[in-house]
Each structure stands twice: as C-alpha cells, then as structure tokens.
Amino acid sequence: MLEEKRQRAFTAFQDFLNTPFEQRLASHEKISPEANAILLGSHSAIALFHSVANTVPAYQSFLKEHGINPESIQTYADFEKLPLITKENYLRCHSLAALCRHGQLETCDMIAVSSGSTGKPTFWPRFFADELQIATRFEQIFYDSFSADTRRTLAVICFTLGTWVGGMFTANCCRYLASKGYPITVVTPGNNKEEIFRVVQELGSEFEQVVLLGYPPFIKDVIDTGIARGVEWQQYQIKMVFAGEVFSEEWRNLVGERVGSNNPCYNSASLYGTADAGVLGNETPLSICIRRFFANHPDAAKELFGESRLPTLVQYDPLSRFFETHEDTLLFSGDNGVPLVRYHISDTGGLISYDAMLEFLAKWDFDPIAALQKEHFGSFATEGKVRGIHRLPFVYVFGRSNFTVSYFGANIYPENVTVGLEQPGIKDWVTGKFVMQVKEDADKNKFLSVVVELAPRREGSEEKLNAIASSILSQLLRLNSEFANYVPKEYQTPQVSLASMGDPEYFPIGVKHRYTRQ
C-alpha cells in the first residue's frame, strides 16, 4: 500500500469539496492588478520547477545534460532561461516511469493516450488529484455559464470513450462536481449517436437542463440528425461544452438556434485542453462576449491578434497553468502525473492580461462588462453581480499553422471559409465540413479548390455551387486582408465542388477531419 498516495488523494479531494468555487477564484483575483497575478503565477512556476528538479529523474537528467544547477534558478529571469521541453527532446528520451515523480509510475492511477499529428501514440499518466485541478475549470463553466448549482442538470458525455483523454477525463470531472453537491447527473453514451438520442429523450425531461459535451463537429452532427428524426431539442434547455477545434461565432449562433438557445454568452463554452495536461483554459461569458465583438469587427481582431482569422479566446488561472510565449507559440508549466516545466506545446497564439484586454477594447468604444450586465442582469446575477466576470488573464489560440494554405502569397485559414458556409441560405445545405487546397488547371494556373460536404438528404445543383462560392468569397474578402490584396481578382472566386455526406475520399466517417490538403 502507498500511504502517501492515499493521503494525497484524501487531502486534494477534501480541499476540492470544501472550497466554494467563488472563494477559490476570488483568492486568485485578490492578487490583482494583473501584473501581480502573473508575478505570483511565476513564483508558483518556480516552485514547481524546484519540486520537479528534486523528484523527477527524467528532468534531473535533462538539467544535467544542459549544465543547469537547480539551485541557480531563484528568480523569474532565471526561470525564463530554462530550456524548453518537447516530446522530442524530453518525453521520448525517457521511460514513462522516469517522467513521473520519484521514478514511480504507480504514483499515478490512470493513463490516457494521444496520437498527436504524427500518429505515434504518447502516453500520459495522471493521478486523481491532477483531475481535481481540471474539475475547477468544468466548475467554472457549470457554475458561471449554466448556473448548475441551482438547476437539475444532466451531463451527457459525447466525447469518444476509451484510452483517449476526452471522454473519461470529462466524465470524471463532472462526477466530481456532483460529489461536491451540484445537482448534476452524468451519463456516458460517448460518440454513439443512437445512445445519445435515447438518453436525452428518455431522461432529459427529468432535468431542468441537458448539457452536451463533445467535439464541435460531432455535436452539430448529433443536433442536425436529431432534428431530422424529430428530436425537439428546445424542450430540454440544451447547453453545450466543446473542445478540440476552433469554431466561428456564426457556428455558435447556428447550433444555438437549432437547439432553441438564445443566450450565446451563457449557453455554451469551449475548453482549451490537451492530453498533455488536461484543460489549460476555458471560455467564460466574458471571453465569449469579447470574441463576439471581434467577430463583428475584424479590423480590431487583426490589430490585436495579428492574423486574419479569429482564434479561440479563453481565460486561464496562472496559479494552475502558467503560460509563456515563444516566437508566437505557446508554452506552459503545470503539475500533472508527468509534471511539465516550460513545455512547448507549439500552438500558435499569445497572452493578454485582463487589464490590457479591457484597455484595448475601450479604444474601440466597447465595454464587455457593461454589455454582459446590460444583457443578463437579473437572470444570471448573484447578489447583484453577473456571473462569469473574473480578473483572469486571456490566452488566444489559433492552433498549428500547418492547417493553412498559401495562395498567391496569402495565408488562407479554414476559419475564413467556415464563416462562408454558416451564412443564411447556405448553412441548411451543408454539414460545415470542407477540404480546401490549392490546385492547378491544365494550363498550370493555380486556383482555390473547396470541396464541401452536403447535409443529409441534400443534393447538389449549379445554383448551390454558385451560392456557396459567392458566400465563401465574400467572407474571405471581409475577413482576410491578405487575400483581398494579394490575390488577383480573376483568381479570387473559389472553385467549389459538392460531395455527399461521408464521402470516402474527402469525408470518411470515423476519423478526425482535416480541412486542408497540401
């Protein structure tokens, strides 16, 4: 028996159960202004470094290889000089046990598997106490966005179940919230659509709201298929939690409308998560309100984020996951079954402090706090305070840059095309999936090809082709200044072709979809 393991689990669970959500987050907000929050977060990261340097054999070897004496790391400036760790230079160089504290894999109790972009599996062990940190991110959504502390809630886990991280991790975290006293009941149909329809229709009426948690394209597929079968989603007060893919605000509006939701800042939320370390940050009503402003003001978005596409925008707790940037990519430090110090996750993105975000928006005459208070005061107010406003920093994430295509020197992002497919008159014909690539015609002239997946029981026509091409073009011109200025006008209109749902060449069923081909 491992007494230390038992005690660690007991202490962590006791702290989670006994600390109210607002108290936990308030203790972190007391260190504002924002600069102090980051500073305290860096102190936490330095403490994590020394803990890892003292207990993890693989990291001890890593530091020795780089000639670093752990005692020399005392300030944040010292910490910033530490070499970045990656899968290639660290994780794949050591045994799984050596990556864990004291070289003991048995200090963990579960292992998840991620295939990554290369398809080579990576194993990620974790312990019960690690999941409790992540459960706070779920609590933030269920409490702030869904008021699940006061509403009987059915949480339907639609992520794939198995060794993959999403399904089991999400189910566990939702159960921990139920253990804390939230009136939440969890059911786990996974990505079996028939089971999802069955549990929602047979159990949903027993609850005041139903939360669907899953991969965005799959949730949309579930909703659309359900509508075709006569599922009356609106009677279940549907809420949604997403992870795994960037989506547009038009897409959020679309799926919200189809389930009868009319409050986009409070009826859905996206998680920024990885198999490496669980959930790193989450959308909040505040971050969604801000993102919706940027969706309607692409010039402001380009000025702040530096690209002609809208990133995922979430808030994070620097005491739980400490972010840094390196050459416009993200790295973080966090305690897990495999503790990670300055881990280079390679996602393209950046950081913005709470104060800096509000100051930037003020220059554009937008006050997101006032907007939330005006729209939602009363319905979601607690003692006069609107839920979902916390002085936490923001991280924005574009994902990896290899999902773009280059056309006449302009970077074209899938997010630009997605918006074109989500316009009125188009969105009912298509699933939202497409494959974009640059091709050459017989005369070796380049053209932009977009293959679009038709919705169930929809057939293609010349009229649909022209309408889709026109919609995609108008959004490319609106959202992407490089496209508008670099691509000659005669080459701007994409050549659209339509494929049936599940087409084996472009939209095979059962595999993660890729929106671009080189």
Those residues of the chain that have pLDDT short of 50 are: 32-37, 117-119, 378-383
At 38 the pLDDT is 54
Give me the count of residues in the chain.
518
Residue-wise pLDDT for 155-204, tens only, equals 999 988 888 788 899 999 999 999 999 999 999 999 889 999 999 999 99
What's the pLDDT tens digit per position in 480-491? 877 888 787 888
Domains of the chain: 3-122 (no CATH), 405-499 (3.30.300.30)
pLDDT at 244: 77
Q: So what's the pLDDT on residue 28? A: 63
pLDDT, residue 31, reads: 52
- Three-state helix/strand/coil letters over 62-120: HHHHCCCCHHHCCCHHHHHCCCCECCCCCHHHCCCHHHCHHHCHHHCCEEEEECCCCCC
Report how far apart, in Å, the C-alpha atoms of 327 and of each of 94, 330, 332, 343, 406 are.
27, 8, 14, 14, 20
Distance CA 209, CA 200 (A): 10
Name the DSSP letter for residue 296: H
105, two tokens = 């894999």
Q: Rounded to an integer, what is the distance from CA 103 to the centroid of its chain?
A: 31
pLDDT of residue 382: 47
The amino acid at 353: S
The pTM of the full predicted model, rounded to 2 decimals, is: 0.81
CB 205 within 8 A of CB 149: no
pLDDT attached to residue 162 = 83
